[in-house]
Amino acid sequence: MSRARDREDLTRVGPGTVMGEFMRQYWIPAALSSELAVDGDPMRLLLLGEKLIAFRDTAGLVGVLDQRCPHRCASLFLGRNEEHGLRCIYHGWKFDVGGRCVDMPSVPAEQDFKAKVKAKAYRTAERNGLIWVYMGARQEAPPLPAIEVTLLPAENMTQQFVQRRCNWLQALEGEIDTAHFGFLHMGSVGVEDLDPEDELRYTVMNRAPEYHVADAPWGTTYAAYRPADAGKTYWRVANFMFPFWTQTPAGSFPTHVGARAWIPMDDEHTMFVHLHWKRAAPSLPVVRRDGTVPLHLTRTLDYLPNDTGWYGRWRLSANEDNDWMIDRASQRAGKSFSGIGNIHLQDQAVTESMGPIVDHDLEHLGPSDRMITHTRRRLLQAVRAWRDGGGAPPCVDDPALYLKARGGYFFSEDGVGWREAYARQVEAAARPAPTPQAAE
């Protein structure tokens, strides 16, 4: 198999592509529940290269339909959301959340054929503040994924959407690349700048850790390790979970409950979905000797106003058009290694700077990129096995596999194998109480 074929299979997500059809077998978190009001304005929704319209009907149910009215293909975005359905303004045909035509007022009653007409519609579910969409062809949709943080009530979670102007894969790979943390995010921080009790000091003391990388039932996992104080090893563990989820080592393992989804809008745009348990213990602040806090820890994300376009949701005000608001003076003065405020924005800048779809032929991958190469291989194997042999992709019919995955940092005694150290942490981890069964 050529590298060009590999790249196509990994990055292209539209209808008929191997990755796109693979992803359609999974439930996709597509929007916040708060984005759709009862009988409110329809919303354009771009998922896996398909132009869709989302709306909430009079009963509070969510519909996700092809944007084209099946009559004459006028856009249902212009439709009237009224009395349990979305009515096309062209000829008045009306569709319920399942896509069924329930009214055909432009046709004489004796010639009415609404029972034979259906708009293309996808199944939806809501759980804990998120709207999920299933775009697969199964007659009965699989269960929602049992990713730990998605089982928690919305009021206990941070839920954040951010649009990124690049392919989903390079966006996701930025999350499973632990080597960049000591440079992009902490490059201007020295050991002397950190509290002696702050675990992050080990990433500053040693910016080139060793790694273990392996397959896991949910996808792939890595454990980066560094020597710590006498008799201890410092671990940072993270996961890739099929088909587009990550868990990062951004908090203490026992209480760090979170996950991130990298939802392809199309081949060149990604919707980042960040979910984090609010009750997790916060990390100690990073304060310099002069009392200042690094730039990236002081700035929050600023958004452009949402509009009604296909790319109109959750866009950052700092973007490629303004060089991600890089502050060269702070960069030169050593106040910020990157000159870019906010950790997320730093990641966004570097992945968007690669271009809409990075050319893998230009890469020179090294030992610190093992998680990336391993995950690409695992993805290719999984999507091609599904394409060639059928059956369910990983985790689709066994969603509880996700519950065995968690990311975070921790310490172990020297000599303890990484799998045993991880298993001990999973066993001892805090498990927030899940929400009661949500309506699906």
Query: Above pLDDT 70, what percent of the chain?
Result: 94
The neighbour count for residue 23, using CB atoms within 10 Å, is 23
Contacts of 13 (CB under 8 A, 6+ apart): 19, 20, 23, 48, 49, 168, 264, 266, 267
Return d(Cα 402, Cα 385) in angstroms, integer.
Answer: 20
Return d(Cα 112, Cα 107) in angstroms, integer.
Answer: 6
Q: What are the residues facing 53 on neighbouring strands? A: 44, 65
CATH 2.102.10.10 location in the chain: 27-141
Note whether 380 and 9 are within 8 A (CB): yes
Sign of CA dihedral 385, 168, 73, 37: positive
| Residue whose C-alpha is closest to residue 254's, from 431, 420, 433, 434 | 431
Summarize the confidence of residues 429-436 as an average pLDDT: 71
For tokens 């984090």, the residue is 276
Return d(Cα 41, Cα 95) in angstroms, integer.
Answer: 15
| Residue whose C-alpha is closest to residue 43's, from 161, 165, 149 | 161
Least confident stretch, 48-62, 134-148, 172-186: 172-186
Summarize the confidence of residues 283-287 as an average pLDDT: 54
Angle between the N-to-C axes of helices 370-389 and 3-11, in degrees from 0 to 180, rounded to the nearest 10: 80
| Residue 205 pLDDT grade (very low, low, confident, very high; cuts 50, 70, 90) | confident
| Residue 155 pLDDT grade (very low, low, confident, very high; cuts 50, 70, 90) | confident
DSSP state of 145: P
Rounded to the nearest angstrom, the gap between the alpha carbon of residue 418 and the centroid of all alpha carbons in its chain is 27
CATH topology of domain 27-141: Rieske Iron-sulfur Protein (2.102.10)
Return d(Cα 218, Cα 26) in angstroms, integer.
Answer: 13
More confident residue, 101 or 206: 101
pTM of the complete model: 0.92
Q: Give the pLDDT confidence score for residue 437 in this predicted structure.
A: 47
